Amino acid sequence: MSTNPVTIRFPGCTILVWNGGAYTETVFEDGTRCPALPHGSEYQARTARELGYGDDVDAMCREHEIMHTLLAVARGRPYSPVLWDVAHGPPDPAPAWHYEEEADVLALQRLLNGGDADDPSGRLEALRREIDVEAVLARARAIRASLRSSG
Domain boundaries, the chain: 40-150
pLDDT digits (tens, 9 = 90+) for 19-69: 767 799 999 999 999 999 998 899 999 999 999 999 999 999 999 999 999
Q: What is the pLDDT of residue 113?
A: 94
The band of 117, judged by pLDDT with boundaries at 50, 70 and 90, is: low
- Angle in degrees, 0-180, between the axes of helices 57-74 and 81-88, rounded to the nearest 10: 110
> Is the pTM above the cut of 0.85?
yes
Q: How far apart (Å, rounded) are the C-alpha atoms in residues 79 and 77?
A: 6
- Strand arrangement of the beta sheet that strand 6-9 belongs to: 6-9, 13-18, 23-28, 33-36
pLDDT digits (tens, 9 = 90+) for 63-113: 999 999 999 999 999 999 999 999 999 788 888 999 999 999 999 999 999
Q: How far apart (Å, rounded) are the C-alpha atoms in residues 67 and 82?
A: 12
